[in-house]
Amino acid sequence: MKLILIGCPGAGKGTQAKVLSKRFDIAHISTGDLLREQVKAETPLGLKLKSIMESGGLVSDEIVSELLKQRITQADCEKGYILDGYPRNVSQAEGLSAIVGELDKVVVIDVPDEAIIERMSGRRSCQGCGAMYHVKFNPPKADGVCDSCGGALIQRSDDNSETVKHRLDVFHSQTAPVIDFYDKSGIVLKIDGNRPIDEVSAEIIKELEKIS
């Protein structure tokens, strides 16, 4: 199964992709995570990416599509994958079928902008395994410590309110048109993401079970 998850910053793409990846035994590919790995490793590419990502702008199509092409050759992608954060503009969407072939579903997680600032300021992610938490909506058992691996929980450098507002603008101007791009193909599944995490997961799983 090949899926795309589309949603604004903080819509819950990463949170839901982790659940879906386990349920359907397919790989979770977050282009944001792939880019952050480069920044963390301080590769020559990572040094270029750091300021773009901290400003909340988009990285160039060429860089991101190259990372995606490399990632889907890995063994865990054989049964399929969930693309979280790609495509991010219409030009990436136009080039996608040449990279991955036919898609099964485009899942759009819809959350109003007003709910996002609170979600982002409370988000914490594990430096070790990437697990995602929220201080209020999905807290870890012990403050600042990952339930799964014991790693330290950190805040992302692009989660301050000014950058989040810019990321929301970029979403509305560049990524929302991608939903229209796929609408014609009849594979778009729109989900109300402004509900508890488990409810959102249950609805997406119920719909995907119909095609798996």
Count of C-beta atoms within a 10 Å radius of residue 154: 12
DSSP of 39-80: HHTT-HHHHHHHHHHHHT-PPPHHHHHHHHHHHTTSGGGTT-
DSSP strand E in the chain: where? 2-6, 27-30, 81-84, 105-110, 123-126, 132-134, 153-154, 188-192
* Backbone φ/ψ region at 12: left (φ over 0), alpha (ψ -120 to 50), beta: left
Q: Is 137 in the site for ligand AP5 (CB under 6 A)?
A: yes
For ligand AP5, the binding residue among 3, 20, 32, 93 (CB under 6 A) is 32
The pattern of x and - marking residues 52 through 71 that bind ligand AP5 according to CB under 6 A reads xx--xxxx----x-------
The catalytic residue among 18, 71, 88, 124 is 88
Q: Which is nearer to ligand AP5, 167 or 208 (CB)?
A: 167
For ligand AP5, the binding residue among 4, 26, 71, 85 (CB under 6 A) is 85
Residues touching ligand AP5: how many (CB under 6 A)? 37
Q: Is 130 in the site for ligand AP5 (CB under 6 A)?
A: no
130 binds, among ligand AP5, Mg ion, none (CB under 5 to 8 A by kind): none
Closest residue to ligand AP5, based on beta-carbon distance: 32
Binding site for Mg ion (CB under 5 A): 14
